[in-house]
Amino acid sequence: MTFSNRLYEVFVVLGNPSNDPAWAEPTWQQLAAAIDPLTHSTWGSAAVRSTQLANKPGSPNQRGISFGRIGWNKNGHRKWVHQNGHIDEGRKFCSAEMWSPSWMNCQSEKRYPDSYFSMFNEKSVTQNAAFNPTFLLAVAQDLDPELLKQSRSCAMRIADILAALLRVRCHRKWAVGRDETTGRWVNNINDLTISGLFRAGRRHNQPVTTTLLDGVWEAF
């Protein structure tokens, strides 16, 4: 993708693992309402992608769930959000991300999104999570000033909903380096909750402070 110099304000929230899951209906309704003002791009509609697993019939193994296209609307939310208060029987939530405009639109236009969020279920990799979820919100800094102001209020609302143990922000480009072998951009914002956000080591065996994170961050 081009526009590699586009600057973003990136907010990271590490939630309280004792709270109801962010992907369960009651909590998600609050999060979606907070995020919604940031999803109305002038060059395409927002969409969600989610990674979840389901029990495979007759087998102890799990397989990925195919949701098809997930729009940013009530019908789209119903596809992937867990409706049964906590965790739907037989389904394991791993992660979700929203691109505004959609990932497909960004690919076809060769542009980075106006806004983006991802959330990762830390309990999908360890039951002894010191924080959960990891929530990242990124907003392009060349948007309307009023929208940028609203994005900061949105991040604060997300942190409140998730009873944040840590809430920090930074400014950075979407991608900050290239792989010497492939020439592709690496350390993209959309990769961070999976790889690149945290320093090496077991992050759930340490105090929940900025020392967990790679790079320079400040509280908001």
147 CB contacts (<8 Å, ≥6 apart)? 37, 38, 139
Element (H or E) spanning 9, and its range? strand 7-14
Exposure string of 139-160, with b = 16+ CB inside 10 Å and e = fewer, is: bbeebeeebeebbeebbbebbe
State the pLDDT at residue 215: 94
What average pLDDT is seen over the chain? Answer: 91
For the residues 162-188, what does the mean pLDDT come to? 82
For the residues 80-84, what does the mean pLDDT come to? 87
Tokens of 6: 């586009």
For the residues 171-195, what does the mean pLDDT come to? 80
State the pLDDT at residue 179: 59
The tens digit of pLDDT for each residue in 17-61 reads 999 999 999 999 999 999 999 999 999 999 999 999 997 766 667
Assess whether pLDDT exceeds 50 at residue 1. Answer: no
Tokens of 59: 């087998």
Percentage of the chain surpassing pLDDT 70? 89
The tens digit of pLDDT for each residue in 142-169 reads 999 999 999 999 999 999 999 999 999 9
Exposure string of 41-60, with b = 16+ CB inside 10 Å and e = fewer, is: beebebbbbbbbbeeeeeee
Q: Where are the domains of the chain?
A: 7-219
For residue 80, name the pLDDT band (cuts at 50, 70, 90).
Answer: very high
Query: 196 and 187 in contact (C-beta within 8 Å)?
Result: yes
Element (H or E) spanning 134, and its range? strand 134-140
For residue 141, name the pLDDT band (cuts at 50, 70, 90).
Answer: very high
Assess whether pLDDT exceeds 80 at residue 86. Answer: no
Please give the Cα distance from 99 to 50 (Å, whole number).
12
